[in-house]
Amino acid sequence: MTQLRFAIGLLMTVACSGLYAQTIAVRADIPFDFRVGDTAMPAGQYQLNYSSGVLIVRSADRHHRAAAFLTIPTIRSGAPAKGELVFNRYGAAYFLANVWSSDSTTGRALRRSAVEKEFAASASSISSVAVALRRN
């Protein structure tokens, strides 16, 4: 009976270890104006913090607006060597779409906001642009 309790306890510990929130803190130099959801952000250096499904994007110099956005998990077939931000580009408008950690096929995706959906509906061209991340 003692061995069974130990085995069940060990199994529960291993199974629940993935439930703890992953915290990520990175920086990026974004060379263009962009949007996080409905919030417009100017080009510049940004600090990104992710924890418990919430992504916070704020200017590194803290003089511009910050934005917080709920994310959803996403996966892709290949892992980038370095972490990166992926933006959806509609003409001259950029919207933050994904955050990818280095050496991982899992990342975080932002849902398309109403503003992004409007741009997507009227855009003549749609592309993706990646910006490298660096650790704090």
What span, in angstroms and rounded, lies between the C-alpha atoms of 78 and 39?
A: 30
Give the residue extent of every domain in the chain: 21-135
- The reported pLDDT for the residue numbered 20 is 43
Helix (H) or strand (E) holding 59: strand 54-59
Q: How confident is the model at residue 63 (pLDDT cuts 50, 70, 90)?
A: confident
pLDDT in tens, 69-124: 999 999 999 888 889 999 999 999 999 999 998 888 899 999 999 999 999 999 88
pLDDT in tens, 6-30: 444 444 444 444 444 567 789 999 9
- The reported pLDDT for the residue numbered 22 is 62
Q: What size, in residues, is the chain?
A: 136
Report residue 123 as tokens: 């855009």
- The reported pLDDT for the residue numbered 4 is 46
